[in-house]
Structure 1
Amino acid sequence: MAGAGSWFVEQPPAEPPAEASASFERLYRAFLSARAALGLALVMAQLISVVLGTTPARSTLALSLSYAVAALALWLAPQLRRGASARSLARISSPHWWSAIGVDLILFGVLHALDPSGVNYGALFVMPVLMAAVLSPRMLALATAAMATLGLLGAAAWSLLAGLDVGLKTTQAGLVGSGLFAVSLLAGELSARLAREEKAARGSLALARQQELLNRLVIDEMQEGVLVVDRRGRIRAMNPAARSLLGAASGELSWQLRGRADWQPLVLALERAYGGSAGEGGAEVDVALALDSGAARSLRLRLRFTRQREGSEELCVLFVEDNRELLARTRQEKLAAMGRVSAGIAHEIRNPLAAIAQANALLAEDVAGGRAEQLTRMVASNVQRLKRLVDDVSELAPGMQPDTQPLDVSALVQETCEDWVQVNGVEPGAQSRFRLHIGAPGLTGLFDAEHLRRILVNLLDNAHRHAEPGAGAIQATLDRHGDALDLVVRSAGAPVPHEIERHLFEPFFSTRSRGSGLGLYICRELCERHGARIDYRRATDAAANEFCVRLRTPSSASSA
């Protein structure tokens, strides 16, 4: 079982294999290069002694040359160290352990014992002991230090057999052996601590990279434009929304904000913000841009500044929004709030209105002819008008869940049109003002029956008010169009002017003084609730206006 202290073998949670292998390979190559340098240094020391007139022993020269050749071969030949890993160096039986550490112990021990000049080669044992302490488990590292100490003591014993004074050599062997054990323990502890710190740093780096990716994903998906600019006006970062708002090409980045004439309002706003020392709170300004594409755009800028710390650069973060989108969002919020209030008011009006209608009906029974009867009819007409308005407002109440289900649209349209013709007094026949065409019986669409009936009645009422006189001036058509059903209501007459066309589906917009302006808006809202679509178009074959409601069918819903 491996002891504590190895950089690679003994760390409790195993680090990622690729990173651990890279770290081991880096240290292993460093030690091999140090061994090669040590081998060359030994050979150079022998050559220098020759130059100085001291002839080294042949055994010392041969051992030095052998060690230098072996160290250089292991350092320069990748095939000799193939398969070396932290796991292989954790076993004393491994050939990789013997080629990198065991050879050093043997050669340095023999060199120290056989050198007749009395040079202390015991310091060379620091290399294998240090290598074992860093790359092997603690127990094996201590065993390596013990082998080196035994080698020193063995050299002292050899001197005793040779009849030499062993007192000094024995003392040196004990001191050097103690130092080797200390080196092994300290190097092992330091390597373990460095391994833990490297692992923590690697984990922090992985978290930082993950956070950076998350931040980048969030910023890229933001509908609001984000722009990071330094004091020199150089753009550091820009998300896709900002590129779209500013008309920037996808390849543009790390260029000067001052490089384009159409961005000068941004430059001026940035200079005023920096010059005014706005601080982290920043400022909000409106700028008008005339883009190179010819489009004009009004933007709202919110400038925020990073807190400047020692050694860090102050950056400005610009949040860019289109004023048109801001106004549209504000309008939608107001409409939603108004819808909730209106729904509450409509609910409160419904009961008094019913009481007025009932009282007026009772009053109408008691009067006959004259001025009073005319007044009761006027009251009844206005009560019905108010009731329709209350119903319209109630349809817009938020939170209502749509009841979308398959309908026999052919039968519903046929029935609704027959009822509408009777209520509005439209004469039937060949010269009738209204015509109905249903492509086939049994056409099925996805909608709510009451909501679809309401849409059709609203469109027919609208056509009845604006269509010109004549046979077939109002037409309703139902037919299949691919996987959808098209319900088209057509009215003969002059096309809707362009300035009115873009407001057709807006709430409370009406060209009539007595109109509520909710009819087409309700049609659009109901269509959106059920996944349908309503559009206005000008007829191409005649002077007429058409409103087309495209309904989903069960087949289109299943394919989607």
Structure 2
Amino acid sequence: MVTDASSATAARSPFGPRAHHQQVRLFRIYNHYRLVISLMLVGLLFVDPFTTDSKFRWLDYYQAGAVSYLAINAFVGLMLLARLQPRQRHITLSILIDILIMHGLLLASTGITNGLANLVIVSVAAGNILNPSRMGTFYAALAAICSLGISGWAVLVINESADDIVRAGSLGILYFAAAFVLQGISKRMMRSEALATSRARSIAELEQINQQIIQRMRTGILVLDRFGQVRLANAAAEELLFGSVNSQGSAEHQNRLLPKPLRKGLEAWLKNPNMRIEPFQASPTSPLLQANFTQLDQERGDQILVFIEDMSKVTQQAQQMKLASLGRLTAGIAHEIRNPLGAISHAAQLMEESPNLDNGDKQMLDIIRRHSKRVNGIIENVLDLSRRRAANSEQVDVRDWLTEFTQDFQQTRDDGSKAIIELLADDAVPPARFDKSQIEQVMVNLCDNGLRYSKQQTGQNRIQLVVGATADGERAYVDVRDFGPGIAREHRHSVFEPFFTTDKSGTGLGLYLARELCEANQAHLSLVEDEQPGCRFRITFAHPGRMI
């Protein structure tokens, strides 16, 4: 009930809730002042006992008024300690009680000439600070009327000097002057505070928007100290450098060490700020990255701002331009190539039917048939690249999808042979967002390659599929492991380049096309290096809540 009443009072305040809270705080301070004054008035009754009634008109009334004033202030103080939220009417009533009790004490003592009249000015001033409106003017008017009333009564009834009326008039002028001056100051301060609050709110909203934009950026942003410690990092930087996603910013990852390649680049840049460091990989499964450094504080140089760019995007764009040109060229001449290619293949088939072929001729025909098929495959792959459609992403339960894919893949194998596919899955795998048809095309390519190389090495069509979550538990991944001879270390960085192949019958576009399809779905295809036999390719899906 107290909270609701406070909220309603704040809503009615002309300067908003913050001004109301400021008003309550000032009233608490003013009540401390009232309590001290009332204690002093009561204490003076004991410190300076009165042996004569000549100083007071009605000593008993004065003592009763001082004690009552102390009791009222003590009660209000206890209520404030009990977390009472005073409303506007409580503040108004307190100011009115102060003005009336002080004039009552003046009347019971020596009149308007008593020093207590100065305390009335404080009460009027406090009233205008706490309530800078027409009510504040009413406080001044009430105090002036009471002062003139006491002085007029003293002159007419007990024959006091007429100078008291002049003094009362002077006090009335002070009351009104204090009211007008303090009202103006209070209103100006409240308007300034309201303006400052509004601007602070706007700045906070702008900061929140900027924070959201920075967190959603695909460019990694780091703030480092001069020792290379991470002070701030956005989500993209966490993902690119550390393989984790922190959507709330970098507060949890302060003082984290940089990856070794980036730390060496920072040391080289500190020695030569004009130097541009070479692209690097934060980990074997991360994409190729480019870092740019700049001083965040040009004067002190304490902090360094780092922009982390995913170079695979730039490389992808260059390769897309190259393949787009190649695709247009291939589309233009595909018909011209396929016609003679078809004639060559058909002629080879006719020659195979001849009964007069020796073994050498048969070998030549086999070479013609295989290379005709290879040329046709190259044309088909390049055409697929040039007319690739945009991804149609949907949220997918990766475990269920991979189980279904494994069953379909077993049933639709071209050679009809039985494949051994071991499916391993973690208990908790986050969902992913991707185009099923495109990622299935990637999986078919990886599985076909894995089965082929496993059979070459072990004589068995055997692969292993593993689905799990990254270290931060935010993203899913799928591993395709074969048991073949593996890839030579000098070729590991070239396996995703177009037209690179170690198989004489391959086109060199399968893995490139697979990575292109993964990139179109904001996933990353990488070759994982470990001590196990064969190759392990990993598809790391993007965070489903951060996809753009």
TM range (shorter): 0.5 to 0.7
Q: TM-score, structure 1 length as denominator? A: 0.60
**Uncovered stretches (5+) of structure 1, i.e. residues with no partner:** 1-6, 92-96, 274-282, 292-296, 422-434, 440-445, 551-560
Q: Residue 223 of structure 2 aligns to which amino acid in structure 1?
A: L
**How far apart are the structure 1 equivalents of 2:73 and 2:158?**
40
Are residues 1:57 and 2:58 paired?
A: no
The answer for the alignment partner of 1:238 in structure 2 is 232
Aligned-residue offset at 1:320:
5.7
Q: CA RMSD for the aligned pairs? A: 6.2
Equivalence map 1:139-538=2 (5 Å): 139-162=134-157, 164=159, 167-212=162-207, 215=210, 224-229=220-225, 237-239=231-233, 241=237, 266=266, 269-270=269-270, 285-286=276-277, 300-306=291-297, 315-319=302-306, 321=308, 326-357=310-341, 384-397=373-386, 399-401=388-390, 417=414, 435-436=417-418, 455=444, 459=448, 463=452, 467=456, 473=459, 475=461, 494=485, 496-500=487-491, 503-512=494-503, 515-522=506-513
Choose 129-138 or 378-387, whichever is displaced more: 378-387
Alpha carbons of structure 1 residues 118 and 392: separation in structure 2 relative to 1, 3 Å: closer
- Contact 2:327–2:386, Cα closer than 8 Å, also in 1: yes
Aligned-residue offset at 1:391:
0.7
Aligned-residue offset at 1:164:
2.8
What SS does the corresponding residue of 2:418 show, helix, strand or coil?
strand
**How far apart are the structure 2 equivalents of 1:497 and 1:48?**
102
- Contact 2:451–2:482, Cα closer than 8 Å, also in 1: no
Aligned-residue offset at 1:140:
2.7
Q: Residue 29 of structure 2 aligns to which amino acid in structure 1?
A: A
Choose 207-216 or 375-384, whichever is displaced more: 375-384
The answer for the alignment partner of 2:131 in structure 1 is 136
- Asked which structure has the greater CA Rg, the reply is 1
Alpha carbons of structure 1 residues 528 and 245: separation in structure 2 relative to 1, 3 Å: closer
Alpha carbons of structure 1 residues 47 and 463: separation in structure 2 relative to 1, 3 Å: closer
The answer for the alignment partner of 2:471 in structure 1 is none
The answer for the alignment partner of 2:14 in structure 1 is 12
- Contact 2:290–2:310, Cα closer than 8 Å, also in 1: no
Q: TM-score, structure 2 length as denominator? A: 0.61
CA offset digits 1:2-28 (Å, max 9, x no partner): xxxxx978643632xxx4554233211
Q: Residue 222 of structure 2 aligns to which amino acid in structure 1?
A: V
Aligned with residue 101 of structure 1, among 92, 96, 99? 96
What SS does the corresponding residue of 2:325 show, helix, strand or coil?
helix
CA offset digits 1:107-138 (Å, max 9, x no partner): 32551575169547543321222222222363
Alpha carbons of structure 1 residues 59 and 336: separation in structure 2 relative to 1, 3 Å: farther
- Contact 2:450–2:463, Cα closer than 8 Å, also in 1: no
**How far apart are the structure 2 equivalents of 1:450 and 1:219?**
29
What SS does the corresponding residue of 2:223 show, helix, strand or coil?
strand
**How far apart are the structure 2 equivalents of 1:56 and 1:172?**
22
**Uncovered stretches (5+) of structure 2, i.e. residues with no partner:** 1-8, 244-249, 283-287, 358-362, 395-400, 422-434, 469-477, 540-548
Alpha carbons of structure 1 residues 123 and 478: separation in structure 2 relative to 1, 3 Å: closer
**How far apart are the structure 2 equivalents of 1:160 and 1:375?**
140
Aligned-residue offset at 1:31:
1.6
- Contact 2:107–2:150, Cα closer than 8 Å, also in 1: yes
- Number of positions where the alignment pairs a residue of Structure 1 with one of Structure 2: 471
**How far apart are the structure 2 equivalents of 1:24 and 1:31?**
10
Aligned-residue offset at 1:456:
6.8
Aligned-residue offset at 1:352:
2.5
